[in-house]
Structure 1
Amino acid sequence: MFFKQKSNIIFRNYESFGYVTDNRNFGYKRTDDNKNNIGDKILSESGAVFFSALGRKPQTLDDLAKKINKQFTDVDIEIIKNDARDFYFMLEQDGFIVSGETIQECEKRDTKFSYKILGNH
């Protein structure tokens, strides 16, 4: 399984907590746009470590667990992997990240902004 941060997401790690938001909150919104914006979320200190491991390129759960394990060296990597899987699936349901069985599937699920998508108005 591969995971990545969506391209329209902004993340800030403030050490004691993390803040993640949809950058559409700070951009253009068309008046005929009925889409729900994702909004924002405050992450715990450990949640910020887990989110910090993500990037804009898909990574395997094993690779992410290894990165996270560097911050929590006294925790078994299998526990980290299970916790990361649960955490990432929750964030995917909230709209902040995407996953896929392959790199290509993961990339395809990430909706990127484009003026071409808006059409001719």
Structure 2
Amino acid sequence: MAQWGPIWKEVGRKTGLEFNVVSSNTMEKGLKNAEFTNIISEDYYVPLAPWSDNPKMKQLGLYQPVAMTDDVEGFLIYFMPNYLGWTPKEIANYTATVRREYREAKIHSNGRWRMVRVQKPLDA
């Protein structure tokens, strides 16, 4: 899992695409380009596995492995061979490793999720 960010940063460098929509403020920029105002961004940190002692966070942590591993190949199958030169076997091995790491839940980390919305003016 520690490789995930650097992999996508490298793919982004080679493609010119932005894969980290949170730190690049992609959603906020899109709303501004569409001429929305009163844009509010809120970051939430969610456990990537059910390791938290907090019941709500533990429940959210149950969903993260499913969301992140259900179609991990779909994230990799196009970009990795075309931009990083990975073979199908390397993709399969990496996918299996990511799924195993999520399933084992030994890494107590959080994912940052961002909610971006437009607040309706009070006088509207």
- TM-score, normalised by the number of residues in structure 1: 0.30
Find the structure with the greater CA-based Rg.
Answer: 2
Higher strand share: 1
- TM-score, normalised by the number of residues in structure 2: 0.30
Higher helix share: 2
